[in-house]
Chains A and B, each alone.
Chain A
């Protein structure tokens, strides 16, 4: 069974800083099936990145994804006030068919 672990649990940063979020899988997953979502309080999740590195429609280019195998990274190059949120990674295809990481909260320092 693939388990996704995200680190850190909470990232405290200031606007303008760079955020680096990690998603680690307990065994190799297809990068095509690795996605990242952003969730703000009281809102539904929003797709940011699919295929590990492809930005979804309308997502600013300050968001980027990278990685393969068991290690994946979401980078926000310069944090804007609206980027303070919780970020989840998600994989499809490996057993279990579908699962999410526990999330990383990016909050204002």
Chain B
């Protein structure tokens, strides 16, 4: 079964750093892209960026460029989302999703359960 397993919820203080993870299983992790999506409390979905798990090529949403860093480790089939200095406004649920771009289609077919990040002093 294709799965994306995300790390547990985090509670942090403003200014702290954080790295959350998304581990793929049941498929060849290296051959696909991972998308990161933010959902603030009670709000819609926002695209943050995409990373190709095989060559680590990244594309960031302009809204998140410079705010977060995406990375991956293909040897362990894990993608990461990293903040150097959290703000209260980073409080949200963060989803990773496998992005399929093939045969002329693009869609996210498998989603992780999400990691809730709470930033509060």
Q: Which residues from chain A sit less than 8 Å from chain B, CB to CB?
A: 32-33, 35, 37, 39, 43-47, 50-51, 54, 56-57, 88, 90, 92-93, 96-103
Number of A-B pairs, beta carbon distance below 8 Å: 69
Question: What are the residues of chain B within 8 A of A88 when measuring CB–CB?
Answer: 44-45
* Distance to closest chain A CB from B76 (angstroms): 22
* Distance to closest chain B CB from A50 (angstroms): 4
Partner of B45, one of A33, A45, A51: A45
Report Cα–Cα, A43/B95, bound state, in Å. Answer: 10
Partner of A47, one of B62, B109, B113: B109
Q: Which of B8-16, B67-75, B79-87, B98-106 contacts A (4 or more CB under 8 A)?
A: B98-106
Q: Which residue of A lies closest to B95 (CB)?
A: A44
Interface size for chain B: under 10, 10 to 19, 20 to 34, or 35 or more residues? 20 to 34
Partner of A100, one of B45, B59, B113: B45
B111 and A100 contacting across the interface, CB-CB below 8 Å: no
Q: Which of B62, B95, B106 has the most CB of A within 10 A?
A: B106
Q: Does B54 contact A (CB under 8 A)?
A: no
